A and B are shown apart, each in its own frame.
Chain A
């Protein structure tokens, strides 16, 4: 029983570069979430998918951030022109998509922009 898988586990990139972070949700989970967690803080919501569509992208901080889930399973979070302030742990979670169901989180990708 595989859980939520995120790759890479660590990513170091130079300021201004483009990065992609991948999330493999639990099989059969229709809902997928991206969160960002800075040191000493709680997870901050970025975007939520129900199936292939972004049902709520209100947490994306600006237009440098974009996420896709083309086949309703794997999702990729894309960050253009990275800035040092983007450094954080990016968490992905999935759930069955009902209101009363909990989300299961991956181990996260630690992004460091130097």
Chain B
């Protein structure tokens, strides 16, 4: 069965600095990987996805993520953090061998300090 780990509960970064939110996954087949963001009292908003092709994918609000098959990772990155990026971030995986449901990680709280 598929699983997702987000090793950091909390990430703090200063505004203007680059940010990284880590994600590793485990699947039996090829992975489909997703990042979502959740603001307080809001639903999850889709940021970006990796399906196939270029390992570096770009998404909404200047975010990007790099797929690394050998390390089974899909870390979320942004070159310059904004205070408004402060939120809860979830990595999710879908395993091509296990149907259509998404398996989510536990989430990482990002705090961007002014």
Contacts and interface: CB of A to CB of B under 8 A. Distances in A.
B44 interface: yes
Closest A-B pairs by Cβ, 6 of them? A42-B104, A105-B43, A100-B51, A105-B44, A107-B43, A102-B46
A8 interface: no
Interface in B34-70: 34, 36, 41-46, 49, 51-52
B106 A41 contact: yes
B99 interface: yes
- Candidate in B32, B44, B49 with the most chain A CB atoms within 10 angstroms: B44
B103 A45 contact: yes
A99 interface: yes
A48 B100 CA distance: 8
A56 B104 contact: no
B25 interface: no
B32 A100 contact: yes
Interface residues of B, number: 25
A40 B40 CA distance: 12
- Candidate in A41, A105, A106 with the most chain B CB atoms within 10 angstroms: A105
A32 to B, nearest CB: 10
B74 interface: no
Given A42-B104, A45-B101, 10 more contacts: A31-B100, A33-B102, A42-B107, A48-B99, A55-B99, A56-B101, A59-B101, A99-B100, A102-B34, A104-B46
A44 B99 CA distance: 16
A91 interface: yes
Contacts of A45: 101-103
Nearest to A48: B101
Contact of A41 (B44, B100, B103, B107): B107
A43 interface: yes
A51 interface: no
B94 interface: yes
A31 B96 CA distance: 16
Contacts of A4: 43
